[in-house]
Amino acid sequence: MTEIEQWVKAIESDLVRWRRHLHANPELSFEEVQTSQFVFDTLSQLPGLEISRPTETSVVARLRTGRPGKVLALRADMDALPITEETGLSFASKHPGIMHACGHDGHTAMLLGAAKILHEQRALLTGEVRFVFQHAEELNPGGAQELVDQGVLEGVDAVIGQHLWQELESCRVGVREGALMASPDTFHITIVGRGGHAAQPHLNVDPIAIAAQVVVNLQHIASRMVDPLEPFVLSVTKFVGGTADNVIPNSVELCGTVRTFQEERRDLAARWMEDIIRGITSAHGATYTFHYDKGYRPVHNDPQLTRFVRDVLQSELGELVTEAVPTMGGEDFSAYQTVAPGTFFFTGIRPLASDAFPHHHPRFDIDEQALAVGCRAFVAIALEFLK
């Protein structure tokens, strides 16, 4: 057992207890009133921490050592999702229609544990550790950008975050330089034709037939306009139109998402999409509206910082460290990476001997053994960065 592992072992019951309390009491994005108060109260038990509330539902704690050195920010998100829980756990959500289905309860517990240990071991540190308990990761525009705008990362030399990850075997830690998570942009299209009787299509402008062509042709962006070696997703996920089997409707609504790791690709994709929509609707005598809404920026891990993190974690966790597989999911941790070098990594929570439900599923759960591993990772990185 490493020394850090022993420290974490001593508070492992706290990690589980905190996580289960948070899991039973989830709150939605921008509504984390009781969650942030729980974090504030727990941190208040550590004398000398400078605790602030940069927004109504976020908490930042600063551990200043009094010795010159660098400033490291460690971040956890706290919000839950609008999902009705079906896990049957003894500590399942007490709030109907709200659930921690993405592991943020675990993120918060792990960072609370890291704060407790680093506070106890502050004599080993120089500089400052800044613990950032963020609200509203799940809802664009996200809490991270709001905290950046509030100056939470001013003076920070590096920022570290992690995500409990169902696609990774429990207690494994995935690290990767460069692109890790995509930009989750969304779009909304309305195709406006001229409705009428389905038996007289020649007298109408059928928005369903036109919208179907739009859906098919939008896929040409991924298959024929983007380099096949470049990860890119364009998915139409909503197609709404019509009220009866003998009525051609006036309009059809299409919605979906665009995912890419390339910041410049986002504007280009929006332009290509509108070119296709305009051409098809014009050819068939229809009109359209098109709205493209940018989500979070892609998460790109700083190469030098990520190599440092990998080395530290390999020293502390050994063979548990592996190469992370990029995902087209999004994360607002990218907002922090615009103002400081940042690294985001995955901590596995998938048990080998059981079926695992994915993130955002009503039966999503985590292997709680991973909480200790994630806490060790935070502590090890901080100790090495600020030694």
The annotation places the binding site for Mn(2+) at 102, 104, 138, 163, 360
Do 344 and 162 contact (CB within 8 A), yes or no?
yes
Which residues does residue 165 pair with via DSSP β-bridges, in sequence order? 348
Query: In 3D, which of 146, 150, 159, 186 has the Cα closest to residue 30?
Result: 146
Q: Which residues are part of a known binding site?
A: 102, 104, 138, 163, 360
Helices (H) then strands (E): counts for the chain:
9, 16
Give the C-alpha separation, 261 to 264, whole Å. 9
Helices (H), ranges, 57-137: 104-120
d(CA 252, CA 289): 11
Dihedral of the alpha carbons of 327, 330, 334, 336, in degrees to the nearest 10? -120
User: Quick check: 197 and 246 in contact, CB under 8 A?
Assistant: yes
How far apart CA 109 and CA 350 sit, in angstroms, is 18
- H-state helical runs in 221-322: 263-283, 303-317
Query: What is the C-alpha R_g of the chain?
Result: 24
Residue numbers annotated as active site: 79, 137
Residue with tokens 């502590």: 379
- Contact call for residues 71 and 86 (beta carbons, < 8 A): no
In sign, the C-alpha dihedral spanning 14, 18, 19, 20 is positive
Beta-sheet pairing, 183-192 with 251-260: antiparallel
- Listing DSSP states for 294-315 in one string gives --PPPEEE-HHHHHHHHHHHHH
Q: CA distances (Å), 309 to each of 17, 34, 44, 343, 377, in order?
A: 28, 33, 29, 8, 9
Tokens 């892609």 — which residue?
Answer: 298
173 in Cβ contact with 356 (< 8 Å) = no
